[in-house]
Chains A and B, each alone.
Chain A
């Protein structure tokens, strides 16, 4: 069983009120030097069997279809433990 991680982040051009609220709270708590926070989502997808290029392509399609709204969000897909995005 392998885990594939899909990270979904709001696009830079899109206002992120949640991230702004978190950044504001961190500042009020005295955490210095924080220039900004953007808040996204992380999905851990358990895969049965081997992670093949075919399965990853299917997961990218799933991310594009449901996990992310590509109008406002970007996503990356990577195998848990792997160094780089796939």
Chain B
């Protein structure tokens, strides 16, 4: 199964995302922001970093990169997309996911291991987790505060689209402790913490992040 990882100018975590795909047993395919060819991949990861230097707003310029035209159209049709950190910001700017990410309420860049509760396991990217399972993966962001108006938040909660929620200290002021959400169909997932940094104990706090990558690979195998 081929999982594409997009590199924008300023992406930082594309290598780690590709490595996580390989550790999970998939084939990682490099995709370039200025290309339009999705190279026949079965799913796409938008990695963390500071695409286009976070100029204007985080993710605001990346959202209009040539590669995104095809990804946005495909995602609306059910194509699997995972956005991590800056990738989550890109998905919100693309309106594939509702809401937005703003500067952390504590005004500091936060970098630490973070406990999360996986609340939605019916998405394409979280089916290998148990509902309510707590995981610990790194978080590192300056603009990770998830915000949306109350009606949007109520709708997300009502439709069970909060995928992961912060447990304990909320690191960035995200409304309702939301760390990650999905679209209605569950093929598009975005989260601020970094599962790709927690796939090997040598250089991560746990291997709790691996489930995001095995989930999509298992699903693709089962449906191919």
Interface residues of A (CB under 8 A from B): 10, 13-15, 17-18, 20-21, 66-67, 69, 71-72
| In contact, B93 and A69 (Cβ under 8 angstroms) | yes
| In contact, B100 and A69 (Cβ under 8 angstroms) | yes
Also in contact, A17 and B57, with CB within 8 A (given A71-B92, A71-B99): no
Also in contact, A17 and B93, with CB within 8 A (given A66-B56, A71-B100): no
Among B81-122, those with CB < 8 Å from A are: 92-93, 98-100, 102-107
What is the CA–CA distance of A17 and B148 in the complex, to the nearest angstrom? 16
Also in contact, A71 and B104, with CB within 8 A (given A66-B56, A66-B64): no
Which of B98, B106, B107 has the largest count of A CB atoms less than 10 A from its CB?
A: B107
Total CB contacts across the A-B interface at under 8 A:
38
| In contact, B64 and A72 (Cβ under 8 angstroms) | no
| In contact, A17 and B99 (Cβ under 8 angstroms) | no
18 more CB-based (< 8 A) A-B contacts, given A15-B173, A17-B105, A67-B56: A14-B147, A15-B145, A15-B147, A17-B106, A17-B107, A17-B145, A18-B103, A20-B107, A66-B64, A69-B93, A69-B100, A71-B92, A71-B98, A71-B99, A71-B100, A71-B147, A71-B148, A72-B100
What is the CA–CA distance of A20 and B173 in the complex, to the nearest angstrom? 14
What is the CA–CA distance of A61 and B181 in the complex, to the nearest angstrom? 28
What is the CA–CA distance of A15 and B107 in the complex, to the nearest angstrom? 11
